[in-house]
Chains A and B, each alone.
Chain A
Amino acid sequence: KQEVTQIPAALSVPEGENLVLNCSFTDSAIYNLQWFRQDPGKGLTSLLLIQSSQREQTSGRLNASLDKSSGRSTLYIAASQPGDSATYLCAPTDSWGKLQFGAGTQVVVTP
């Protein structure tokens, strides 16, 4: 069974600092990996999807890397803003399209 761990569980940074969020997973036989953002009491918003054959995916200030063989993915957020405050979840996907979520990293960016 896939186990997904996200470290740290919570993170607080001043505005402008870069954020580094880590995700590790135990089963490297994944089809892809998605990063999501969740605001308090809301649904999930997909940020990035990395195919298993890719090493990296970028969207604006977001960059996600994937090392499938070692079971790791990292989400980098450059020049953080207060609006980046949210919980970030990673979710490897199996070949059936099923996501296995980590518990998330709660991020607070202070002005």
Chain B
Amino acid sequence: DAMVIQNPRYQVTQFGKPVTLSCSQTLNHNVMYWYQQKSSQAPKLLFHYYDKDFNNEADTPDNFQSRRPNTSFCFLDIRSPGLGDAAMYLCATSAGGTGRTETQYFGPGTRLLVL
């Protein structure tokens, strides 16, 4: 029944050690988003894919990369995690795009801890 799935739910990594977070969806939505949410803060959009078109937010650090090999999957790569990257990472999907007004559906999130 799960529609947006994120793996793992909890990830512990070491300072500077690359890490990859995974998101998959069964909704066949063409738009996928990655958000970063730090404790007691609002989610912040990092980037999104409209189909295969990648759209990076202007203030997203270069340390964060993403891949979308097909409609169902999207990955978030953090090349050299710092202590400040510890956060909840949320994946979302929507059937929307330019001029569309569709609801975004969120996964349960991956909590990243950097030691």
Give residues in A with beta carbon < 8 Å to B. Answer: 4, 31-32, 34, 36, 41-46, 49, 51, 89, 93, 95-99, 101-104
Per the bound structure, the CA–CA distance linking A31 and B102 in Å amounts to 10
What are 8 contact pairs spanning A and B, CB under 8 A? A41-B109, A42-B109, A43-B90, A43-B108, A44-B43, A46-B106, A96-B98, A97-B102
> B41 within 8 Å of A by Cβ?
yes
Per the bound structure, the CA–CA distance linking A43 and B4 in Å amounts to 10
Per the bound structure, the CA–CA distance linking A98 and B101 in Å amounts to 10
Q: Closest Cβ of chain A: how far from B60's Cβ, in Å?
A: 13
Per the bound structure, the CA–CA distance linking A46 and B6 in Å amounts to 17
Give residues in B with beta carbon < 8 Å to A. Answer: 4, 6, 31, 40-45, 48, 88, 90, 92, 94, 96-109, 111
Q: Taking CB as reference atom, which chain A residue is nearest B102?
A: A97
Most chain B CB within a 10 A radius of its CB, from A31, A43, A51, A89: A43
A93 with B90: CB separation less than 8 A? no
B103 with A34: CB separation less than 8 A? yes
A95 with B98: CB separation less than 8 A? yes
B101 with A51: CB separation less than 8 A? yes
A34 with B104: CB separation less than 8 A? yes
Shortest beta-carbon contacts, A-B, top 5: A101-B42, A44-B106, A43-B106, A97-B96, A43-B108
B109 with A103: CB separation less than 8 A? no
Q: Taking CB as reference atom, which chain B residue is nearest A9?
A: B40
Residues in A whose Cβ lies below 8 Å from that of B90: 43-44
* Given known A-B contacts A42-B109, A43-B90, A89 and B42 have beta carbons under 8 A apart: yes
Q: Closest Cβ of chain B: how far from A38's Cβ, in Å?
A: 9
Q: Taking CB as reference atom, which chain B residue is nearest A98?
A: B45
Per the bound structure, the CA–CA distance linking A17 and B107 in Å amounts to 31
Per the bound structure, the CA–CA distance linking A53 and B73 in Å amounts to 34
Most chain B CB within a 10 A radius of its CB, from A49, A93, A97, A101: A97
